[in-house]
Amino acid sequence: MQEKIIHIKQNNIALLKQFISNMGSSSNTFRYFENRKISCIKKHLLTVLILKDEEPVAYGHLDVEQSNIWLGVCVIEAQKGFGYGKKIMTYLTKYAKDNKLKEIILSVDKNNIGAIRMYEKFGFLTISEKKNIKFMNLQIGEKNG
């Protein structure tokens, strides 16, 4: 099994399209592309995929919206439980620290307990809640678990 993290740009966007079409039930909790065109990645600070044997299995991004930097992570349904979420999170948080970002934020469904636990392990704290959504942030300059 060969595994690697790649950066997504316009020249390899077909891999992202493949990931989106293979998400399965993961699309129930990762709704980022529901109301956005795939071309929105042009504005991302970073868009990555994990390829396992050249097949995309996990996705991550750091997206700038006004003064906020949003983190997004998704693992396709068939590949959950193999540590890909943790690998993407490690990569994105290292990028944020290396590039001296002050804070990254995310939103997650309140019932997505596994994702919330993972975010908390990376040092994310709940900053607010609205309906069924929890908003969390990570202050980059602080010590994180």
pLDDT of residue 1: 74
Residue among 106, 40, 28 nearest 73 (CA):
106
pLDDT in tens, 10-56: 999 999 999 999 999 999 999 999 989 999 999 999 999 999 999 99
List pLDDT tens digits, range 72-121: 999 999 999 999 999 999 999 999 999 999 999 999 999 999 999 999 99
pTM of the model: 0.92
Region of 134 (left: φ > 0; alpha: ψ -120 to 50; beta: rest) is beta
Local confidence band at 145 (pLDDT 50, 70, 90 cut-offs): very low
Sketch out the chain's domains with CATH numbers. Answer: 3-139 (3.40.630.30)
**Of 46, 38, 39, 75, which Cα lies nearest the Cα of 62?**
46
